[in-house]
Amino acid sequence: MSSDNTEKIRARVLSLIESEFDSDASFERALSLAEKTVNNWRRGRSSSFMKMLPLLSERFGVNVSELLDMPLRRDTSELSEEELHLLHLYRRSRVLPREMRSALRETLETTINLYISTASALKESSASKKMGKSK
């Protein structure tokens, strides 16, 4: 992997740390890392975060591919423009603290489920009215 790619990944990891933790020390304590680990990442003295990508991915609730800034799939031809737009928006939300990102995902899921159940109920109601008129 090129040093340019490593720098981009370093920047993503540090951005996630800054968005979710009050300090580098609190992140280090949360992950049981040695003191000054993040400081060494910031100064480019260590790239040990590369070995920790699966752990960091789990901790921050993102896919390793997102940390690597790789698409989950290369072929998105089967996705509609609306799906691509939602995917893009969701990926932008990775800068949010994990709790906010989780709440955003839950809100979207609840909203979609509500619309689906409402549409289904309206369809059933309309069908039963048509049945009543045909009798």
- What's the CA gap between 107 and 105, in Å, rounded? 5
- What's the CA gap between 118 and 120, in Å, rounded? 5
H-type alpha helices, the chain: 3-20, 24-30, 37-42, 53-60, 64-67, 81-92, 98-134
Global pTM value: 0.53
Print pLDDT tens along the chain (135 aa): 567 788 889 988 998 898 888 899 999 999 999 999 999 999 999 999 999 999 998 888 888 887 887 655 556 677 788 888 887 787 777 777 878 888 888 898 899 889 888 888 888 887 777 776 665
